[in-house]
Amino acid sequence: MRKAFTIFLGVYALILVLLIPSKGLWMDEIIDLHGVRNASDVNGVLAFVPGNAGGVPLGYLVDFAMIRTFGYSVAAVRFPSVLFTVFACAGIFILARQTGLRWPMLAVIAYTISPMTLRYALEARPYAQAACWSIFASVVFLSLVREPTIGKAAGYAALVAAGLYTQPYSIFVPLAHLLWLVFAKQKAQTILHAGIAVAAASLAFLPWFFKAHSAWQGAVDSGAHFAVGRKDLLVIPHELMGTGYIGAGLTVLAVIIALGWSKISTQQKLFWAVYAAIPLVLVPAADAYFGYFLAARQLIFVLVPISILIAVCMPVHRWGRWVTVALLIGMPLGFLMFERAGTVATLADW
């Protein structure tokens, strides 16, 4: 199994690398890279980042390091996203093994062919990196649940902090972890270790929050103030899986089958349900509160529990198999349709 997974991961990484030059930089990439490319040092990068609403430094610093090391090119600025996506796939495999799945590779395949995974694996933006940190935070968290130690708690805190410094909405993943600990009535020692770790990571993020908050608010106020309404919420089922409303319906069906009829434990079902539900609820709520626009990419963390549950659904009678196969066929088709309809920007446009 490990040998097959290693070969699969190598082939997938090669495909992503070959796809890097298949399209020019998008406008959003160029906006993010503009200040990084022109910065003379790290301080220049850190001064630029708060000008983007919700901007945090880790993704920009990675881009800065790549440009300084290899020069400015599409390949240089996009390669970190490829690397983090490959690492994320390794994390998915570990999570699937921790869940006791019969076919852990199926969860990896579901994640790798998701249109959102593929899109942000090929863009010079921080979402692949944020997803990777949150996945490995979940890996360490489940290990912490099995055997609480200070070392694991410290590692968990570091990964949560890395996620926050890459994409602030990644905080909803450890929040889901903590809620599950309470709902599942885990040991007090486990709750204490995990709670202290998340608190420490949040405290580590506060200096940046205080530095950037006024600039973030200014960036929001200088643009349109968005109000998240019912029509805006339709972007989630339509774009999250990249397969439109039909794919969203199949995904919901797969989740229902996995949670209702699979043989994984009740606690595991609760874990993956909470993991999926918390970002789905709190991301739109946060956007509504801050007056920011809702985008499906903010929910990239939800792909993890969905991929696991799709794999859980597969062996559950013939309906589970048909639903899983339909999704595995539909997701890459969705990516191809998105690429065909996409708009590419150039440096001349900027």
Q: Is residue 100 in some structural domain?
A: yes
The total of structural domains in the chain comes to 1
Per-residue pLDDT at 199 exceeds 90: yes
Eight-state DSSP code of residue 113: T
Nearest to 280 by CA among 253, 265, 298: 298
Q: What is the mean pLDDT of the chain?
A: 89
The torsion angles phi and psi of 122, rounded to 5 degrees, stand at -115, 20
Would residue 40 count as lying in a domain? yes
Residue 305's pLDDT band, with cuts at 50, 70 and 90, is very high
Chain-centre distance for alpha carbon 219: 24
Give the model's pLDDT for residue 331. Answer: 79
- Look at residue 341 in the predicted model and tell me its pLDDT: 47
Would you give the distance in Å from CA 333 to the centre of its chain?
21
pLDDT in tens, 167-192: 999 999 999 999 999 999 999 999 99
pLDDT (0 to 100) of residue 348: 31
| pLDDT of 35 over the 90 cut | no
Helices in 147-222 by DSSP H: which ranges? 150-164, 172-183, 188-222
Domain boundaries, position 293: 2-208+227-335
Per the domain annotation, does 176 fall within a domain? yes
Q: Does any domain span residue 103?
A: yes
Secondary-structure breakdown of the chain: helix, strand, coil percentages, each rounded to the nearest 5? 80, 0, 20
Structural domain contains residue 53: yes
Task: Give the mean model confidence (pLDDT) for residues 116-141.
Answer: 96
Angle between helices 266-290 and 303-313 (to 10 degrees): 150
> Could you give the CA distance from residue 336 to residue 226 in angstroms, rounded to a whole number?
30
Residue 221 falls inside a structural domain: no
- Under a CB-based contact definition with an 8 Å cutoff, are residues 339 and 121 in contact? no
In a domain, 175, yes or no: yes
Task: Provide the pLDDT confidence category of residue 342 given band limits of 50, 70 and 90.
Answer: very low
What does the block give as tokens for 99?
């869940």
Residue 343 pLDDT exceeds 50: no
Please report whether residue 215 resides in a domain: no
Identify the pLDDT of residue 215. Answer: 86
Residues 6 or more apart whose CB falls under 8 angstroms from that of 212 comprise 49, 50, 55, 56
Query: Half-sphere exposure (CA, 13 Å, Cβ side) for 46?
Result: 8
| Residue where the block lists tokens 């070969």 | 7
Reported confidence tier of residue 344, pLDDT bands at 50, 70, 90: very low
